[in-house]
């Protein structure tokens, strides 16, 4: 065989054997950080080197002022072997009517607040700051201006932003945020408020509608976020009435309180004030199922570049984690490698 053909096949073989570096981590999205043995065991099993911690929400207070909401409290410090990545969630509505002066002040206040919380967590500093916002075409300019202002206050740090699926698909309207990297949130993709039996957290067919070639062509490094959580969606007279955060799947199995109807929803048989439910309310229980997460990872793998990525699971919470074996989460990591 001609030497040049042998060289070609060798290069092709080596290329096929190349693996993507995947660093697995978790979001921590609770208002109090306290050391938890189960949660720490999952971090160790995943060989996580980072923990992405929601520091605060930014919203309007009762006086109409933009202010920190539900900031985290650190009862314990973040373990020494974990890098802390602070995450700030910004409510999109506050960006609709802000001027340049307000944006400058907000950026400075966010960074100052984050710096203080990072020190409370036992860390001298941080290498990456992530901003989470479901921005729209109408708030894009103000949001991007805020990101630019934040960058001025955190020199030599990576600024990342979350990216919703609709923002990935509609890049022309949504724009590309002025950050170093993005994290694609591969969950909350269906219509939560729609009456029926669909799963609004994760459905592979829905994911395919948004990702396709859009992910491969996105013009910056893209990390991946996948769901582990579940929730109970409440309907009253077939209209969306909210999420019952305290209601678990086990509660729905109590026949004195709930009846599973032929349409797959659970009907409330009596008023249940402890869950915020009334008689005849209907419940759609949605869960992140391992097989759906696995299928999503297989699909995403086809469209990701070979560059290193962070794989984040939402989120680090003992009751949530107990629905998954550590080897299952490792399998998702392996699929994306």
**Residue ranges per domain, the chain?**
18-228+288-336, 230-286
18-228+288-336 carries CATH number 3.20.20.80:
yes
pLDDT at 245: 83
Q: Where are the alpha helices (DSSP H) in 49-128?
A: 100-120
The alpha carbon dihedral of 131, 136, 141, 142 has a sign of negative
The pTM of this model reads 0.91
Q: In whole angstroms, what is the distance from residue 245 CA to residue 324 CA?
A: 20
Residue 52: partners with Cβ closer than 8 Å, 6 or more residues away: 25, 26, 27, 28, 85, 87, 130, 312
Q: To which H or E segment does residue 258 belong?
A: strand 258-260
Please tell me the predicted confidence (pLDDT) of residue 209.
93
Q: List, run by run, the mean pLDDT of 10-residue segments along the chain (337 residues).
A: 50 55 97 97 97 98 93 97 98 96 97 98 98 97 98 95 96 96 95 92 93 92 97 96 92 96 94 96 96 97 93 97 97 96
């Amino acid at each position: 065989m001609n030497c040049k053909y042998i060289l070609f096949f060798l290069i092709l073989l080596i290329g096929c054997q190349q693996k993507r570096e995947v660093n697995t981590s978790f979001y921590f999205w609770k208002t109090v950080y306290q050391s938890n043995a189960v949660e720490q065991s999952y971090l160790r099993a995943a060989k996580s080197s980072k923990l992405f911690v929601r520091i605060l929400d930014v919203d309007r207070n009762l006086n109409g002022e933009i202010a920190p909401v539900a900031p985290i409290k650190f009862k314990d410090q973040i373990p020494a072997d974990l890098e802390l990545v602070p995450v700030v969630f910004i409510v999109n509505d506050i960006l609709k009517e802000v001027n340049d002066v307000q944006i400058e002040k907000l950026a400075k206040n966010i960074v100052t607040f984050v710096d203080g919380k990072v020190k409370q967590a036992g860390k001298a500093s941080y290498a990456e700051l992530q901003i989470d916002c479901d921005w729209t075409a109408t708030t894009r300019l103000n949001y991007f201006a805020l990101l630019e202002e934040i960058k001025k206050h955190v020199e030599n740090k990576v600024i990342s932003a979350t990216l919703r699926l609709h923002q990935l698909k509609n890049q022309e309207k949504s724009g590309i945020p002025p950050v170093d990297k993005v994290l694609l949130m591969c969950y909350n993709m269906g219509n939560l408020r729609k009456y029926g039996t669909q799963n609004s957290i994760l459905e592979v067919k829905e994911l395919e509608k948004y990702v396709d070639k859009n992910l491969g062509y996105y013009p910056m490094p893209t990390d991946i976020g996948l769901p582990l959580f579940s929730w109970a969606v409440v309907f009253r007279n077939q209209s969306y009435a909210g999420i019952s955060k305290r209601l678990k799947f086990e509660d729905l199995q109590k026949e004195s309180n709930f009846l599973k109807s032929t349409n797959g929803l659970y009907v409330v048989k009596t008023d249940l004030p402890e869950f915020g439910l009334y008689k005849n309310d209907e419940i759609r229980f949605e869960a992140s199922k391992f097989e759906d997460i696995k299928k999503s990872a297989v699909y995403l793998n086809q469209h990701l570049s070979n560059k290193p990525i962070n794989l984040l699971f939402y989120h680090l919470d003992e009751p949530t984690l107990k629905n998954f074996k550590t080897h299952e989460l490792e399998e998702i990591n392996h699929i994306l490698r």
